[in-house]
Amino acid sequence: MEQKPSMTFASVLKNPIYQRRDVLYALEPPEGFLHRNEEKNELVMELAPILMQSPVICAAVYGNPGTGKTGLILSLLKELEQEAQQNSIKLVSCYVNCSENRTETTILLELLKQLDSQREYPKMGWNRAKAVAEFERVLKQHANTQLVFILDEVDYVLREAGDDVLYRLSRIHNKTKTNVSTIIISNDVRVDEYIKPKTQSSLGRVKIVFRPYNEQELYDIIRDRAKYGFKKNVVSDQVLRKVAQIESQRDGDARRALELLDSCAKMAVARQHSKITLEHVNEADSSLERDSVLSVVKSLTQHQKLVYYSILKQREDRLAGMDVFRQYKETCQSYNMQPLSERRVRSLVINLNDLGLIRSEVGWLADLKKKTRKIEVTLDSALKNKVVKMLRDSI
């Protein structure tokens, strides 16, 4: 096996590959958001009433990861704030990532920290009643302000804790007489399944879907970033098209396309190559695929982990849905956890399929002589053992 050259910080700094690596990961692209004009126009139309002192009860933005949802919304929010300032409208915005704040209480506390920065709010220790009372008190102090709350990755809290926070925000004006606009962002396009009918009725019908990027769009996006991120003549058009092709055949995720391109560049630097080649692309793709599974598993909610752990614990690589639910209940009991309903677990199984962690479909099982959900483990044995250990240690 060929020995890799020894690396030093000095050798990395002298590399002929990167120009500005941070551009590859910046939320806002150097030349603006490509192929998102339609979604931008929809959002402008939905958010414009805020400048007319008319809050938006809820605008829901759905789409797979890496489709530009968060970046575009935060960019538009800057424009909204500038326009509000020019028109002497007091506007305050708060951003909460629900993958880090997965209960109504922690979300309200995070909003309070941003609304009332002069006061210290604990991360834990308050019950819901206390957080709600304080939230309503602080909102009343902003009676003449347009408040915009952005709840990103809201599917995490909906799956784990339910939709109480959305229902509360949709009705908060009646209690506090404040102008609250809510924007929810979800990576799960079937997020409606976790929202009760009464909450859906309160939220309204504003739904903007960000479709996955196709191959040509991904090529345009990574070419735009590569122009600023790498030195001249480092990455060829052929390499960019190959990266775009690989990711378009998966989820149309621009973030993953850029991660793959960055991984190729790091490989070239480590080997002291002056250009990124197709060989780098193929090798980096195989390496990232394994790493991405572990990354996805790490980000799962607690009950997603319990369901996935229940599936992977079985010796068989192919299971029926009823077996998974039975094993899940046993796993919850062993961890002293309250299990979710069978319907919720079924939704979590579908979600694990969407994440590429299992293969799940409804079909005929000969031994049961009936149709049921068939669940198949797709990990190789080495990766499966690594994932099982990660789940066991993190639940």
Pairing of strands 179-186, 146-152: parallel
In whole angstroms, what is the distance from residue 244 CA to residue 219 CA?
A: 5
pLDDT of residue 369: 55
Q: Hey, where are the domains in the chain? A: 37-210, 214-296, 300-394
Q: Give the CATH class of 37-210.
A: alpha beta
Q: Regarding the domain delimited by 214-296, which CATH topology (the fold level of the hierarchy) does it fall under?
A: Helicase, Ruva Protein; domain 3 (1.10.8)
Which pLDDT value is given to residue 234?
93
Question: Is-contact 151 185, C-beta < 8 A?
Answer: yes
Q: Residue 380 corresponds to which amino acid?
A: D
Counting every residue written for the chain, the total comes to: 395
Q: Which residues pair with 361 in a beta bridge?
A: 374
Q: What is the reported pLDDT for 1?
A: 44
Give the integer Cα–Cα distance in Å for 3 and 16: 21
Tokens of 188: 């799960």
Nearest to 314 by CA among 391, 395, 394, 388: 388
Backbone angles phi, psi at 357, to 5 degrees: -85, -25
pLDDT in tens, the chain (395 residues): 455 667 777 776 777 899 999 999 998 998 899 999 999 999 999 999 999 989 988 999 999 989 999 999 999 999 999 999 999 999 999 999 998 898 999 999 999 999 998 888 887 788 999 999 999 999 999 988 999 999 999 988 988 788 999 999 999 988 888 999 999 999 887 777 788 888 888 777 788 999 999 999 999 999 999 999 999 999 999 999 999 999 999 889 999 999 999 999 999 988 889 999 999 998 898 787 777 788 889 989 899 999 999 999 887 767 887 888 999 999 999 999 999 998 889 889 988 988 889 988 766 545 545 566 788 888 878 788 889 988 998 88
Q: According to the 3-state scheme, what is the secondary structure of the chain?
A: CCCCCCCCHHHHHCCCCECCHHHHCCCCCCCCCCCCHHHHHHHHHHHHHHHHCCCCCCEEEEECCCCCHHHHHHHHHHHHHHHHHHCCCCEEEEEEECCCCCCHHHHHHHHHHHHCCCCCCCCCCCCHHHHHHHHHHHHHCCCCCEEEEEEECCHHHHHHHCCHHHHHHHHHHHHHCCEEEEEEEECCCCHHHHCCHHHHHHHCCCEEEECCCCHHHHHHHHHHHHHHHECCCCECHHHHHHHHHHHHCCCCCHHHHHHHHHHHHHHHHHCCCCCECHHHHHHHHHHHHHHHHHHHHHCCCHHHHHHHHHHHHCCCCEEEHHHHHHHHHHHHHHCCCCCCCHHHHHHHHHHHHHCCCEEEEEEEECCCCEEEEEEEECCCHHHHHHHHHHHHHHC
CATH of 300-394, one of 1.20.1250.20, 3.20.20.220, 1.10.10.10, 3.40.50.300: 1.10.10.10
Q: Taking the complete model, does pTM exceed 0.85, yes or no?
A: no
